[in-house]
Amino acid sequence: MTVNIASPFGAGLSPSRRQILKTAPGLIAVAGAISSPVSAQQMSGSSQAGTQTAMPAPELQGSNIVGYNLEHEQFPVPELVQFGADASQAGFGALAYSDHLQPWQANEGHAGQAWVTLSAVGSQALSSWIGTMVTCPTIRYNPAVVAEAFASLSLLYPGRVFLGVGSGEAVNEEAATGYWPPWSERWGRLIEAISIIRALWSGEQVQFQGQYYTVNAKLYDPPAQPIPLLTAANGMKSMRLAGQYGDGLITDPKTWQQYKTEWQEGANAAGKDPGQMPVMVQQYVVVGDQSDAQQAAELWRFLPKAFTTYYNIPSPVEIEQLADQQVPLSQVIAQWVVGTDPSVHINAINELFNSGVSVVEIVSGQPDQQRVIGFYGDNVLPQFRSPS
């Protein structure tokens, strides 16, 4: 069987924001038709790919998972693998890794390859979901290559891999390719990329002729079971699009609070039930006092302007300089959970769960990650574990 997919935007025309918003239901119907779940029994031999003994991971939706976010910008790959293994052992149910070519700020100091880290940590984090937060599958990466990479990861670690996708930042995409298109094209590319990835995961021959990509290929080792594809959003229009095109959402607490209804309406417009879709939200924390928070904030000073201004800048050095001039540390810390009282951290997580979030990803910019992992493992995560 060959799956043929045409661009929803028409030949020779770059989609406008209005066109992108209008084309969701038809493209979702096509993508759904080519990405029907395929059981492990139907995939000959694929269930034997993972040989490690692993506990089954909880469902991303409906389980109230507390996860741990590990940043390639701040630590080298060997440390991130160890942190991931320790976080899984401590009880974190999902490990999300940033996928960057360069750090946001030069003083963060690192930017290892995320897929290498995922492959390594999966063999040690035996009961946690693993995935990216987020991969941009449009410029620096071709979507067919992304589909192949995550299909292979899913064969190593069946039932524990998710893919987070987004429209990218110039510090990665423009820096690697010299190309950084406007918003409408970035989202047009992302929409096509999502369709290509889902089609290839079906294991069928795929013929795709779009506005931005032409693919005629087949994955000969497709996933043994469906891979959740979560779409990142940080603004009103992107939240609606994420609801229309993704299997779930990746965002931050402020965006979720402001534009939750946009995401829900986008999902409803595509014929999906947002109540059955996972929502993954990052929550920045510091286990320590205000001096610890200020030290961490020096490396994450860009955050308040990350997706309003700095995402268009390809240089980590320039972003760091601008953030130092424009963003006071108090503004960075204002949305963080800071302290050594477990109840402060527990209450923040519960507030997100009560708002409809299903996966809270803990992020800490402090240098001592083991302090955070140990504190949460001993004092916070036991409050969210189901009775045995």
Helix (H) or strand (E) holding 296, with range, is: helix 290-297
Query: 71, 72, 73, 100: which one is catalytic?
Result: 100
Pairing status of strand 205-209 against strand 2-6: parallel
CA proximity to 253, closest of 226, 284, 288: 284
Q: Is 169 a catalytic residue?
A: yes
Q: Is 100 a catalytic residue?
A: yes
Query: 169, 192, 262, 320: which one is catalytic?
Result: 169
**What whole-number distance in Å separates Cα of residue 238 and Cα of residue 263?**
8
**What whole-number distance in Å separates Cα of residue 57 and Cα of residue 123?**
14
What residues form DSSP beta bridges with 230? 164, 248
Sheet holding 2-6, edge to edge: 2-6, 205-209, 214-217
Helices (H), 130-172: 143-156
Map tokens 């595509």 to a residue. 270
**Residue 112 structure tokens:** 């290892």
**What whole-number distance in Å separates Cα of residue 78 and Cα of residue 217?**
34
Are 340 and 288 in contact, with CB atoms under 8 Å apart?
Answer: yes
Classify residue 353 by burial, with Cβ atoms within 10 Å: 0-12, 13-18, 19+: middle
**What whole-number distance in Å separates Cα of residue 86 and Cα of residue 376?**
11
Active centre residues (catalytic): 100, 169
